[in-house]
Structure 1
Amino acid sequence: MRKTLLAAALAVLGTTVVAPSASAAPLQWGPCPVGAFPTPDLQCTTLKVPLDYRNPDGAKIDVAVSRLASKNPAKRRGVLLTNPGGPGGEGLTYPQVLKLVKLPQSVLDQYDVIGFDPRGVGHSTPVTCDLTTEQMMIGNLPYAQGPADVVKQAGVAKTEAKQCADAKTGPMLPYVTTANTARDMDRIRTALGESTVSYLGASYGTYLGAVYTSMFPERSDRFVLDSNLGPGGYDIDAMRNFGRGMEDRFPDFAAFAAAHPEYGLGTTPAQVTAKFHELAVRLDKAPVEGITGSLFRGLTFERMYASNLKQLAENWQALDQGRPPHAPETTIPPTDNLFAARFAVLCGDSAWPRSVASYQLDVAVDRIRYPLLGAASANIAACAFWPNPPIEPKVRITGHGPANVLMVQNERDPGTPLAGARKLRSAFGDRARMITIDQGGHGAYLFGSNQCGNTAVTEFLATGKRPARDVFCAAESH
């Protein structure tokens, strides 16, 4: 989950009868769908997959697939599947994005880089919850000041869950899960005529990759997981970990703002921290063009994903002066499909607490434990009222399989904190090595500037050489 905060013991292959991937006719490649992001180097196609893999001959859905083909047949190794994060995020154009941010030529030569919209998303039989603009404007989970705010949010969450179930794609929602998306990835592998796949996944894409290589270890080649969720994916622990991530990342911003007194936010990190709490209280009493204290907390959290903290300081300055902040040009407005697909995955992957009182307790605890954001990230969401329990147990991430996983992780990542990455690293055991980088923000490889980390990941993708042990990359000045 790269952008917006929302409420989202047996190995799955031992619990669900899954038909083997059938041989498929060659894919018919053509132009990609016209969208906001140009894709001059991509080809696209559509693959039919089972809605329910327990009934492989039943209803089918579409999965949209893209290809950035290697132009060096002599060096081509195979295919590199990719996922930019989510859940709910589109991935069809991601290979073009990776080329734009300078995915090294050594990697582009080695692989056909493959993107796809996960099931239920974008051009892959999209799901809907018929959410209104007002509902989507709530965006980040509201910061709960007390038990009454949790009760109020429970009403919102219950309505959202009912709308999802009652929408025209309601019957599809139980099957929009990470495990089924991993099965779709294996259908893509088969359709491409490959015996194995390599993988580059970020954020939620790390959990998707971990699930795939746990379900299909013998079909996994080189797997890179960037900005890692814990082994439980986006469960309640991951949601509450946003509060911890904010605490990890905030000192970077406090130090930046204190070093730039022209923003008027304080001349010491302590003063900047006090300004945060002051603004949150002030905006709750007198919002600036609809921006409340709760939305201010969410805006701050989202901007901390980026490595450039200047814009966040400018936003704070504007709000402190009673002006609305300037929205970045790269902001993509949320859509009903993004929310619906995210709800489906979060609620379909994990069983969530159903008791409002349990969320009230979590909010009270996390307001103290993580004072910047904890009372928002622990708040109740639609999964508490989801009509269908998960259709299968969660995939268990273990050390069974080839030693072919390389994790890369920023120390101070607000969205996927280091604490969760360490748990995934432990679950993988000797299957994985982890590169930890002394930098903040969400996204380490290519989107971060640390050459130690970037070089190690590129070397693994291009040559298969993986560090003999876990690596720490020191901060680099630029």
Structure 2
Amino acid sequence: MRILSGKTTALTLATAATAALLTTVSGADAAEGDLSVTSSHPLDWGSCPGTRLDPRQQCATLKVPLDYRDPGGKRISLAVSRIRSERPDERRGVLMLIPEGPGSPGLDRPTTLGKRLPQSVRDTYDIVSFDPRGLGASTHASCQLPTADLSLTASRPWPAADGSIAGNITTGRRIADRCARNGGELLRSISTVTEARDIDSIRQALGERKLSAWGVSYGTYPGSVYAQMFPERTDRWVLDSNDDPDPERVGRGWLAAYAVGVEDTFPDFAAWASAPDSPVRLAETPAGVRRRVLDLAARLDTKPLSWPGANPPELNGNVFRQSVLTALFSRDSFENLAKLITDADAGKVPGAVPPDPGQDAMAVSLATVCNDVEWPKSLPAYARDVAASRKSHPLTAGMPVNATACTFWHETPRDKPVRITDQGPSNVLMVQNKRDVATPYSGALKLRRALGDRARMVSVDAMGHGAAYQGPGRGNACADRRVTDFLLTGERPGRDTTCPAVPTSQGAPHPMR
């Protein structure tokens, strides 16, 4: 759902959840509810906190309403950053890098992601991003969760080894209660619709009539919502690794999509791990790799390995399943996953400890997906769905359709979910890998259909999360070229098109994600 890092995207999407039969609104209805407010003062740009940043990156603080329904009331801070066009005489405007997640900061992105952009794009645009409300250098949110509840196997509802969801119900209630008690009005204000309004407040503070944007993973959803709410304020809109916009499910659908995404992408790992020239060969055939993974998970369910320093401090079946899911974000993780499998089979203690998210990242992730749309409350229905999913998608063992904290959330959504439609300018370019663990191709096609003639879609016959501008040796030159042409000229393919799997890119140097 997407980023603190590629792996943290997996984490923040992990808590993604939503569904219920809420009434939806069209773009026209949303526009009538335009509550954004113009900043009365220009942004006061200065140096940025942190290290290893491009020295040209500047930061500023923007005050925005805590509640856009009360524009004269309490205000909170949004931290905004930019690197200005490197050739002001060629400047077209602003390219907004919409943070991934939900629950990922964006303040460093003009440096980190900006370096992936070709020089021609950096010449043409001011590269701008921000820490969403609740995160990083913006006003902080927290549920004050205990450390154990920050782990991936707590925030993601992995059932017990026997399929029971009783423990998930207990954990979900506890997290929801903590968030209600400690999150305050700030946590209640966080949602995708609010983020779209925050983006428009940034646009106004920048003095721009329109924005261009590059949104990846979860960033494609606030990007789509913004384009629906404020179509006349969008210029050139790039959506990469796209979320299913189903307004009755939203984040709950994204969580459910992991069952599909793992099955879509695991064959790439199985082929790699069974190839004769693989550096860590696990079996002679892809089917053998799959059997080995499922057998190891079942064995770790009953005989976990001690993992000092990890959260929880053991490698059990669900921690292993989560490790498999996380590794499927990128081919770069295949070798480490294969080594984990061989070590665990040999009874060795695992190596590096996977990180937990911060309190603010977890709070914002939960608040976004729980405040976007109400979740169903029937616990027997969750139990039935989990049991069915364990049979049909054993690699994810029922986790994607289980109850989470959102099932027990204390607040009801303040905004009706925005239905994405084909009403608006034809200025959207979607780019999507065909095998993506977090945002499966099937979900991206649903966004494509919703946007109609507003969009064109570039599909990439490749595996991984993030299709364009991934860097030398990791990206796809065809996808990069399509996105660059669109950002520079506004030209899109005449129809949806496919790029072949060519694992090279002529883009900018690749920084860490």
Classify the TM-score, shorter chain: over 0.9
Pick the aligned partner of 1:423 from 434, 446, 464.
446
Give the secondary structure class of the aligned counterpart of 2:89.
coil
Does residue 21 in structure 1 map to residue 45 in structure 2?
A: no
How far residue 83 of structure 1 moved from its aligned partner, in angstroms, is: 2.0
Change (3 A) 1:148 1:279: closer
Give the secondary structure class of the aligned counterpart of 2:214.
strand
How far residue 459 of structure 1 moved from its aligned partner, in angstroms, is: 0.9
Give a deviation string over 1:268-304, Cα, whole Å, max 9, x none. 0010000011110111111122011111111111111
Pick the aligned partner of 1:98 from 113, 127, 136.
113
Change (3 A) 1:324 1:463: farther
The corresponding residue for 2:177 is: 162
How far residue 149 of structure 1 moved from its aligned partner, in angstroms, is: 2.4
The corresponding residue for 2:510 is: none
Distance in 2 between the 1:215 and 1:235 partners? 19
Alignment of 1:16-415 (within 5 A): 17-34=33-50, 38-100=53-115, 102-137=116-151, 138-139=153-154, 141-145=156-160, 149-167=164-182, 169-232=183-246, 234-259=250-275, 260=277, 263-288=280-305, 289=307, 290-308=314-332, 309-327=334-352, 333-415=356-438
- Output the amino acid matched with 2:476: N
Identity %: 43
The corresponding residue for 1:442 is: 465
Bigger shift: residues 360-369 or 298-307: 360-369
How far residue 305 of structure 1 moved from its aligned partner, in angstroms, is: 0.4
Give the secondary structure class of the aligned counterpart of 1:152.
helix
Distance in 1 between the 2:230 and 2:397 partners? 36
How far residue 345 of structure 1 moved from its aligned partner, in angstroms, is: 0.2
How far residue 44 of structure 1 moved from its aligned partner, in angstroms, is: 0.2
Distance in 2 between the 1:323 and 1:416 partners? 33
Give a deviation string over 1:116-142, Cα, whole Å, max 9, x none. 011111121111010111111235524
- Output the amino acid matched with 2:349: P
Question: Would the aligned equivalents of 1:265 and 1:317 in 2 still touch at CA under 8 Å?
Answer: yes
Distance in 2 between the 1:73 and 1:332 partners? 41
Give the secondary structure class of the aligned counterpart of 1:437.
strand
Distance in 2 between the 1:12 and 1:347 partners? 22
Pick the aligned partner of 2:490 from 438, 448, 464.
464
Give the secondary structure class of the aligned counterpart of 2:498.
strand
How far residue 84 of structure 1 moved from its aligned partner, in angstroms, is: 3.6
Distance in 2 between the 1:442 and 1:450 partners? 12
Question: Would the aligned equivalents of 1:18 and 1:54 in 2 still touch at CA under 8 Å?
Answer: no
Distance in 2 between the 1:175 and 1:327 partners? 36
TM-score (norm 1): 0.95
Distance in 1 between the 2:368 and 2:164 partners? 26
Distance in 1 between the 2:252 and 2:366 partners? 13
Give the secondary structure class of the aligned counterpart of 2:423.
coil
Distance in 1 between the 2:163 and 2:42 partners? 57
How far residue 382 of structure 1 moved from its aligned partner, in angstroms, is: 0.4
Distance in 2 between the 1:140 and 1:301 partners? 14
How far residue 360 of structure 1 moved from its aligned partner, in angstroms, is: 0.7
How far residue 14 of structure 1 moved from its aligned partner, in angstroms, is: 2.5
Question: Would the aligned equivalents of 2:27 and 2:228 in 1 still touch at CA under 8 Å?
Answer: no
Bigger shift: residues 169-178 or 72-81: 169-178
Give a deviation string over 1:167-205, Cα, whole Å, max 9, x none. 1x3222221011111101111111111000000010000
Give a deviation string over 1:416-470, Cα, whole Å, max 9, x none. 0001100000000000011110110111111242111111011111221111110
TM-score (norm 2): 0.88
Question: Would the aligned equivalents of 1:408 and 1:436 in 2 still touch at CA under 8 Å?
Answer: yes
Give the secondary structure class of the aligned counterpart of 2:291.
helix
Give the secondary structure class of the aligned counterpart of 2:220.
helix
Give the secondary structure class of the aligned counterpart of 1:392.
coil
Change (3 A) 1:473 1:261: closer
Distance in 1 between the 2:230 and 2:447 partners? 17
- Output the amino acid matched with 1:418: Y
Distance in 1 between the 2:111 and 2:36 partners? 31
Distance in 2 between the 1:145 and 1:165 partners? 26
Question: Would the aligned equivalents of 1:436 and 1:471 in 2 still touch at CA under 8 Å?
Answer: yes
Change (3 A) 1:72 1:143: same
Give the secondary structure class of the aligned counterpart of 1:327.
coil
The runs of 4+ residues in structure 1 deviating greater than 4 Å are 145-148
Give the secondary structure class of the aligned counterpart of 2:374.
coil
Distance in 2 between the 1:295 and 1:240 partners? 18
Question: Would the aligned equivalents of 1:235 and 1:352 in 2 still touch at CA under 8 Å?
Answer: no
Distance in 1 between the 2:203 and 2:124 partners? 16
How far residue 264 of structure 1 moved from its aligned partner, in angstroms, is: 4.9
Give the secondary structure class of the aligned counterpart of 1:149.
coil
Change (3 A) 1:334 1:477: closer
- Output the amino acid matched with 1:59: K
Change (3 A) 1:61 1:173: same
Change (3 A) 1:25 1:261: closer
Report the count of equivalent residues.
473
How far residue 146 of structure 1 moved from its aligned partner, in angstroms, is: 7.4
Question: Would the aligned equivalents of 1:249 and 1:304 in 2 still touch at CA under 8 Å?
Answer: yes
- Output the amino acid matched with 1:88: G
Bigger shift: residues 302-311 or 415-424: 302-311
Distance in 2 between the 1:197 and 1:40 partners? 24
Change (3 A) 1:462 1:307: farther
Give a deviation string over 1:365-421, Cα, whole Å, max 9, x none. 211222211511112110000001100210110011100000000000000000110
Question: Would the aligned equivalents of 1:283 and 1:292 in 2 still touch at CA under 8 Å?
Answer: yes
